[in-house]
Amino acid sequence: MSQYDVIVIGAGPGGYVAAIRAAQLGFKTACIDAGVNKAGDAPALGGTCLNVGCIPSKALLQSSEHFHAVQHDFAEHGITVGDIKFDAAKMIERKDGIVNKLTGGVKFLFQKNKIDSLFGLGSFKGKNGDLYQIEVDNKGEKTVVEAKHVIVATGSVPRPLPQIAIDNVNVLDNEGALNLTEVPAKLGVIGSGVIGLEMGSVWKRVGSEVTILEAAPTFLAAADQQIAKEAFKFFTKEQGLEIELGVKIGEIKAGQGVTVQYETAKGEAKTETFDKLIVAIGRIPNTNGLNVEAVGLEKDERGFIKVDGDCKTNLPNVWAIGDVVRGPMLAHKASDEGVAVAERIAGQKPHIDFNNVPFVIYTDPEIAWVGKTEEQLKAEGVEYKKGTSGFGANGRALAMGKAKGTIKVLACVKTDRILGVHMIGPVVSELVSEGVTSLEFSASSEDIARIIHAHPTLSEVLHEAALAADKRALHG
């Protein structure tokens, strides 16, 4: 029976990073994962993120943005394009190529760091003294391995909709939405979160009529509402997404298309028939088959594995990270937790501040934020000041043809310490990193205002927002 210092269950962005860091620290490490490629004929590392999540969705967003730009934006640059054609199958093929390259890259990193990659479903079997026994089920062929430390990184799965099952033919989850090879004439989306907005945007740009149905009465409730309201206007009035808030979903039937009955926020009964329906109502922790009962690993009432601030479970030397534990379901949060746990096993003292985790939605314009929203600060009774600046007068944004959006800086009235940075605009997924760094190092709005920002760049909008927090904006 093979024995290891560390076994990681799950090779997503939390698990594979944890395995690499553990190996770097000198531990004999194995990583168990049951992921397969799209064809289903070979293992594929990287978890949901690399295979059917973060990476493929960004590939489709980029392709669809190019197609939209050719149709709507090139003319103002003096570029005239003739017969424009869109090939959905080719777009999917490009996406698949990117996925294969990156999942192959994880395999290479495992080999480079001498990590044993074990294919199959990993589950707890019991204990042998101080060692945990983990069963690896490779399509019925079972083996058992042992380790002193176990890191659970099994991720999450789509939350099911009670009214109808996902078949990824007509009723789609995130995986099905990423693999459509034809553009549906009429696309329905249930859920206006990250997945719903991104996938709705992809297929709207390439020709679908898209309706998004959201149960919550507030659009992007987790985001700063000034930014959320600006985003709602862009998506509905400028891009033509039909977004209904506060709906109650009724009966759903699949046949010739998918028929959805629902009630609007005003109490009006409606029925819509879509060619395809994407269900994007969130994700739940993936612990099915983990057999936590064999060792007494505790879960909370929502199914998450219980951990403390250091990702320790109730069991000695058993850790859990990523989507399967508390906190935001984000790949970068999982990766940082994976690194931190490997270092804690080695006796180091890493620190993660979950208040400084950035959030990004890769629509056009992009939305990104870090830290507290205005709504949170008001609820907590924190005295704050704010500065805002728009991309409308930014030279780089105008040159790019992307002069839409706003950046807002929130700072403490007494100390000037930055409390939150919120953005909607071009490439704010990259700009938000300056906000993260500022919060991590307890910077003030004056610190950002005093830092020289290159000209002309998009980052000047953040600089201007920081100046505005002290009522000394130069260009606004």
Question: 112-169, pLDDT tens digit by residue?
Answer: 999 999 999 999 999 999 999 999 999 999 999 999 999 999 999 999 999 999 999 9
Residue at 475 is within a domain: no
DSSP code string of 298-327: -B-TTSPBP--TT-B-SSTTEEE-GGGSSS
Same domain, 345 and 222: no
Residue at 166 is within a domain: no
Question: 162-188, pLDDT tens digit by residue?
Answer: 999 999 999 999 999 999 999 999 999
CA-closest candidate to residue 17, choices 349, 337, 433, 325: 337
Q: How confident is the model at residue 326 (pLDDT cuts 50, 70, 90)?
A: very high
Q: How confident is the model at residue 337 (pLDDT cuts 50, 70, 90)?
A: very high
Residue at 474 is within a domain: no
Side-chain-side CA neighbours of 152 within 13 Å: the count stands at 32
Rounded Cα distance, 125 and 121, in Å: 12
DSSP secondary structure letter of residue 292:
G
Q: Is 469 a residue whose pLDDT tops 90? A: yes
Task: Give the model's pLDDT for residue 162.
Answer: 96
Task: Give the model's pLDDT for residue 476.
Answer: 78
Q: Is 448 helix (H, G, I), strand (E, B) or coil?
A: helix
Question: 35-84, pLDDT tens digit by residue?
Answer: 999 999 999 999 999 999 999 999 999 999 999 999 999 999 999 999 99
Same domain, 149 and 276: no
Question: 384-412, pLDDT tens digit by residue?
Answer: 999 999 999 999 999 999 999 999 999 99
155 annotated as a binding-site residue = yes
DSSP secondary structure letter of residue 354:
G
Residues 6+ apart with CB under 8 A from 14: 47, 153, 155, 321, 322, 323, 331, 334, 335, 337, 338
Same domain, 324 and 400: no
Same domain, 240 and 204: yes
Q: How far is CA 367 from the centre of its chain?
A: 12
In this structure, which long-range contacts are made by residues 327-330, counting pairs with CB atoms below 8 Å and at least 24 apart in sequence? 327/354, 327/357, 328/354, 328/357, 328/359, 329/156, 329/283, 330/357, 330/359
322 annotated as a binding-site residue = no
Same domain, 127 and 179: no
CA triple 183-230-159, angle to 5 deg: 50
Catalytic residue among 77, 149, 351, 455: 455
Quote the tokens at residue 161.
């909709």
- Pairing relationship of beta strands 257-263 and 248-255 according to DSSP bridges: antiparallel
Residue at 476 is within a domain: no
Rounded Cα distance, 53 and 32, in Å: 20
- Identify the domain boundary among 222, 247, 281: 281
- Identify the domain boundary among 331, 352, 373: 352
Average per-residue pLDDT for the chain: 97
Same domain, 29 and 137: yes
Q: How confident is the model at residue 1 (pLDDT cuts 50, 70, 90)?
A: confident
Whether cis (ω within 30° of 0) applies to the bond prior to 285 is: no
Mean pLDDT of 307-322: 98
SS3 content of the chain, % helix, strand, coil (to 5): 35, 30, 40
329 annotated as a binding-site residue = yes
CATH number of domain containing 83: 3.50.50.60
Q: How far is CA 258 from the centre of its chain?
A: 27
Residue at 271 is within a domain: yes
Task: Give the model's pLDDT for residue 455.
Answer: 98
227 annotated as a binding-site residue = no
Mean pLDDT of 432-447: 98
Helices (H), 40-193: 47-52, 54-72, 88-112, 174-177
Residues 6+ apart with CB under 8 A from 382: 372, 412, 419
DSSP secondary structure letter of residue 77:
G
Same domain, 146 and 178: no
Quote the tokens at residue 309.
């601030």
CATH number of domain containing 367: 3.30.390.30
Q: Is 310 a residue whose pLDDT tops 90? A: yes
401 annotated as a binding-site residue = no
pTM exceeds 0.85 for this model: yes
Residue at 164 is within a domain: no
390 annotated as a binding-site residue = no
Same domain, 288 and 387: no
Instruction: Centre a 10 Å sphere on the Cβ of residue 330 and count the other Cβ atoms it contains.
Output: 20
State the distance between the two ends of the chain, measured CA to CA, in whole angstroms.
Answer: 68
Same domain, 289 and 153: yes
Task: Give the model's pLDDT for residue 417.
Answer: 98
Whether cis (ω within 30° of 0) applies to the bond prior to 456 is: yes
330 annotated as a binding-site residue = yes
Side-chain-side CA neighbours of 342 within 13 Å: the count stands at 27
CA triple 388-242-407, angle to 5 deg: 10
Residue range(s) defining the domain that contains residue 176: 171-281
Is 455 one of the annotated active-site residues of the chain? Answer: yes
The structural domain count of the chain equals 3
Same domain, 213 and 234: yes
Q: How confident is the model at residue 204 (pLDDT cuts 50, 70, 90)?
A: very high
Same domain, 10 and 151: yes
Place of tokens 């505790």: 298
444 annotated as a binding-site residue = no
331 annotated as a binding-site residue = yes
Residue at 297 is within a domain: yes
Mean pLDDT of 413-441: 98
345 annotated as a binding-site residue = no
CA-closest candidate to residue 416, choices 380, 355, 467: 467
Q: Is 11 a residue whose pLDDT tops 90? A: yes
- Identify the domain boundary among 260, 281, 302: 281
122 annotated as a binding-site residue = yes
Q: How confident is the model at residue 224 (pLDDT cuts 50, 70, 90)?
A: very high
**The amino acid at 18:** A
Same domain, 203 and 115: no
Question: Counting Cβ atoms within 10 Å, is residue 419 exposed (0-12), middle (13-18) or buried (19+)?
Answer: buried
CA triple 59-60-64, angle to 5 deg: 125
282 annotated as a binding-site residue = yes
Rounded Cα distance, 289 and 137, in Å: 10
Mean pLDDT of 212-225: 98
Residue at 14 is within a domain: yes
